[in-house]
Amino acid sequence: MDGKKRSDVKPGIEVNVILKQDQRSGKKTKGVVKDLLTNSATHPHGIKVRLEDGQVGRVCEILSAK
């Protein structure tokens, strides 16, 4: 899954995100979702989340659903 629908993204799942500073390079960062920051049901660039380590980025790929 690509992480563009808020209903697919839940706290505790493992995801790849693209951090703000990595948007140009497209470098992915793996982490576990702590909080969902996007309020709308969908977002064309991916749902914005805060990872458990405190980093904030947009979900580009869902690795494991809980």
* Overall size of the chain counted in residues: 66
**Residue-wise pLDDT tens digits, 19-62:** 999 999 999 999 999 999 999 999 999 999 999 999 999 999 99
- Report CA 49 to chain centroid distance, whole Å: 5
3-state secondary structure 3-66: CCEHHHCCCCCEEEEEEHHHCCCCCCEEEEEEEECCCCCECCCCCEEEECCCCEEEEEEEEECC
Banded pLDDT at 18 (limits 50, 70, 90)? very high
Whether the per-residue pLDDT at 66 is higher than 70: the answer is no
Comparison of pLDDT for 66 and 49, the residue scoring more = 49
